[in-house]
A and B are shown apart, each in its own frame.
Chain A
């Protein structure tokens, strides 16, 4: 079941990227759409392989695409939502790959994971929308400060998680 949710999330991510790319100049638009088509095509096609790293490579590709789109001033809301959906697709994809080969799946493992992913996705969406709202009012240097704080928090979280 999680495979279908992953595919749906990836297709929705592609749709938001298309929506963001449509108003762009023809050259940029077709470059973005072509790259998205290749990345998502390879990603979705990778269900037939067991190459574990492919979803992560796909996610990195989507991040790069989103970066290019944002750099050229396309609709940031659509791009961030596309990235968030790619993120959800990545998570569900890895989950589905982990369950490959298991005939017995019990204890509501799938529903528990889907629920957790949905909650994280919704929180992410809320934060993205909030971030967009804040960023429209904040210039580069305050944004950099925000990023530095985020980075410091990330490092602190990592150290916390690594400590016994």
Chain B
């Protein structure tokens, strides 16, 4: 609450006039007090006390979880529950940074009688993030605005702008171990499935239709065909959030592309019935424990929504990815532009897990945003390109599957090209 601010100004002026009048012993000087005194008295008489102000606010948000750049309608209703008219009510809904108002007003001045209500309504959008709205600021004054009372009306709300994702298809992963439940990941085990896996001796109880008649005729004994079992697997997504691995041009950032790629991959693997965990590596180790299903997808999207870059010295390299964080033999998918020093770490990681690297191309990203493209730029790009190819080839040689992704193109095309066929 702010006290009667003008009271002190007017009171001081009145006292000064009184003092000067007394010192100079001039009665007519005291008359100058009159206009000030009238205003002061009116202000006090009309003034509103804190106890008389009973305002409540209620916030309604059209949709609490949206995709990046979608729009939400926020409506805040303020009700005067007091018995007195509030002649001047200033309302301000201070929005957190990152939330953009597309239409409507977040500020309003109005007058509220007993039982009357006012509403603020606006449309907002944001690129990505979790935005918490706590309270509405209100400033209440009387007719003369003499006594202004500042209030914070609680009306909590939350809007989540999750990263956009692509519909990915045909990504074949080959983890060293799979879970017992059936899924879409090739388990390297014979049994029931779709793709031919091999043949074996007939055992009593094998289905008649699975007998391989050609092999049986050739070998002179009953042979059963086997198919590769398809099961679910553990998938660990690692999002590289190191600030030094990012490139920002204007308000566009390669990190945002990585976040979108991570969201698309998370959705794809969850839809395949896999158990998916997520590690955001950069600011700190933001770990989302592996899980299945729609609820897990929501958890992963929430984690990606709050993902921020970090420049902690301890996370400069990828050495601090805890080896036992993901179940042994699971599929690791690292989303990173990659730095030279990361190669060795990935080689070591490959010893324990199957590793896929989805690497948004920093050269293409930067080149597309350069204002001038002359011969020097082209030469620099070619050198950069060669170095990157060399780095990616080192990874491929180490058995890491690499998706070299131009962030301006859809991820699904690059992923399909690099990951649709399984090389064992």
Shortest CB-to-CB span from B139 to chain A, Å, is 8
Q: A35 on the interface (CB 8 Å rule)?
A: no
Interface residues of B, count at CB 8 A:
54
Q: A38 on the interface (CB 8 Å rule)?
A: no
Closest 3 CB pairs of A and B: A143-B27, A107-B111, A116-B143
A105 to B141, CA, bound (A): 14
Chain B: interface secondary structure?
helix
Interface string of A152-164 (1 = CB under 8 A from B): 0010011011001
Whether B109 pairs with A67 at a CB distance below 8 angstroms is no
* Cβ–Cβ < 8 Å partners of A119 in chain B: 42
Asked, given contacts A94-B6, A164-B51, whether A150 binds B88 with beta carbons under 8 Å apart, the answer is no
Interface string of B10-29 (1 = CB under 8 A from A): 01011011101110111111
A161 to B31, CA, bound (A): 24
Pairs A–B under 8 Å by Cβ, sample size 17: A59-B9, A63-B16, A67-B20, A87-B36, A98-B90, A99-B109, A103-B107, A107-B89, A109-B88, A116-B46, A116-B144, A135-B28, A140-B25, A144-B27, A146-B30, A157-B44, A158-B44
Q: Which of A76, A91, A95, A151 contacts B31 (CB 8 A)?
A: A76
Whether A70 pairs with B47 at a CB distance below 8 angstroms is no
Chain A: interface secondary structure?
helix
Shortest CB-to-CB span from B303 to chain A, Å, is 38
Partner-B contacts on A (CB < 8 A): 56, 59-60, 63, 66-67, 70-71, 76, 79-80, 83-84, 87, 91, 94-95, 98-99, 101-109, 112-113, 115-117, 119-120, 123-124, 127-128, 131-132, 135, 138-140, 143-144, 146-147, 150-151, 154, 157-158, 160-161, 164
Whether A87 pairs with B118 at a CB distance below 8 angstroms is no
Q: B262 on the interface (CB 8 Å rule)?
A: no
Whether B27 pairs with A109 at a CB distance below 8 angstroms is no
A36 to B237, CA, bound (A): 74
Whether B27 pairs with A158 at a CB distance below 8 angstroms is no
* Cβ–Cβ < 8 Å partners of B31 in chain A: 70, 76, 80, 128, 131-132, 135
Asked, given contacts A102-B107, A147-B21, A158-B7, whether A112 binds B87 with beta carbons under 8 Å apart, the answer is yes
* Cβ–Cβ < 8 Å partners of B29 in chain A: 67, 70-71
Whether A157 pairs with B41 at a CB distance below 8 angstroms is yes
Whether A140 pairs with B109 at a CB distance below 8 angstroms is no
Q: B39 on the interface (CB 8 Å rule)?
A: yes
Whether B44 pairs with A106 at a CB distance below 8 angstroms is no
Q: B151 on the interface (CB 8 Å rule)?
A: no
Q: Which of A60, A128, A160, A164 contacts B34 (CB 8 A)?
A: A128
* Cβ–Cβ < 8 Å partners of A102 in chain B: 90, 107-109
Q: Which of B11, B37, B143 contacts A112 (CB 8 A)?
A: B143
Whether A67 pairs with B32 at a CB distance below 8 angstroms is yes
Q: B253 on the interface (CB 8 Å rule)?
A: no
Asked, given contacts A66-B32, A104-B109, A117-B144, whether A154 binds B14 with beta carbons under 8 Å apart, the answer is yes
